[in-house]
Amino acid sequence: MFKLSKEKTILIILAAIQFTHIVDFMIVMPLGPQLMRLFAIDPQQFGFIVASYTFSAGIFGFVGAFFIDRFDRRKALLVCYLGFTLGTFACGLSPDYHFLLIARMLTGAFGGIIGTLVLSIVGDIIPFERRAAAMGLVMMAFSVATVFGVPVGLFL
């Protein structure tokens, strides 16, 4: 029987979280023509939808750095991932442009904090000697999300 160590299991979970975060961030870009047609928006408004996630993630990631250490990282990650998931569902159920824009900002806010929490958890639980390999595994999720996640997500 195949058995994973606790450390590898945690790293796989963190990589999966990173994967979903990156796919969610990137999947909107190739949906441009459909979203512009569906919501009757111009390219500039679509640009705001794409940029809203990034700006929100950057702002909340920076602001979160000042207070996130007051909380248990595992609980903070669970809360942020719940907010991220609800924001993603809100994006999928958006009836109009403004709702989608706000939902993308909400999703980005939680996504920005998730990115920093994942890396912080790796730094906390992995000994210095194996940390580079662990970071490589978790960050590999970015490449996998780009190569496989976005095309599969668009297909689905």
Q: What is the pLDDT of residue 5?
A: 87
Question: Which of the four pLDDT bands, split at 50, 70 and 90, describes residue 2?
Answer: low
Is-contact 121 13, C-beta < 8 A? no
Tell me: the pLDDT tens digits for 48-96?
999 999 999 999 989 988 888 899 999 999 999 999 999 999 999 999 9
SS3 helix, strand, coil % of the chain, rounded to 5? Answer: 85, 0, 15
Tell me: the pLDDT tens digits for 104-142?
999 999 999 998 899 999 999 999 999 999 999 999 998
Q: What is the pLDDT of residue 3?
A: 64
